[in-house]
Structures are given as C-alpha cells and as structure tokens.
C-alpha cells in the first residue's frame, strides 16, 4: 500500500476511535465541572483525598526539569497534583 493511502487509512481509523466530551455529551461542559467530576471519581475509585494547593517554586522546578513534564505543565499548575494526594493507591 502506498504511503499516502496508508497514512489516510490510519488517520481515518484513528478518527473513528477518538471521541470528545462535546461529541459524547452534545455540549462542552464547564472546565470546573469536568475537574470536579474527575476528582470525585478518583476519590471514589482509588480511596484517596485531594488537597487543592499550589506548588512551591522548588516543587515546580523539580517536576518540570525533565522534557517529559514540559508538555503537561499547564495540568501541574491547575492546582490538583499527584504530590498532594493523601491516602492509598
């Protein structure tokens, strides 16, 4: 199969398997609602509690010093971080 046909097939195949909140709910829910629901589900399923907090400059530097963390920096700054989980995993 030529590269262009293979690429087009892969894109179509991926598009058929990817969804979004807008597609599933027929609307885009408010960001805070999504965060609250995710946090509550993690609490219920994992038996953990979250403490909303901000990272210190030192914590932020430690977490973001590797290239793999740079892509998720906005998530880290959102307030809920794995380092603030209390409980068991």
**Domain residue ranges of the chain, discontinuous segments joined by +:** 47-89
- Long-range contacts formed by 48-52: CB under 8 A, 24+ apart: 48/85, 48/86, 48/87, 48/88, 48/89, 49/85, 49/86, 49/87, 50/80, 50/84, 50/85, 50/86, 51/84, 51/85, 51/86, 52/79, 52/80, 52/84
pTM higher than 0.85 for the full model? no
* pLDDT tens for the chain, residues 1 to 89: 567 777 777 767 777 778 888 888 999 999 999 989 999 999 999 998 888 888 888 888 887 787 766 665 545 455 554 444 444 33
């Amino acid at each position: 199969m030529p590269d262009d046909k293979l690429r087009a097939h892969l894109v179509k195949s991926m598009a058929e398997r990817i969804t979004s909140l807008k597609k599933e709910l027929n609307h885009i829910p408010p960001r805070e609602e999504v965060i609250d629901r995710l946090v509550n589900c993690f609490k219920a399923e994992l038996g953990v509690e979250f403490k909303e907090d901000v990272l210190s400059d030192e914590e932020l530097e430690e977490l973001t010093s590797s290239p793999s963390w740079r892509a998720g920096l906005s998530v880290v700054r959102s307030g809920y971080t794995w380092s603030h989980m209390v409980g068991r995993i």
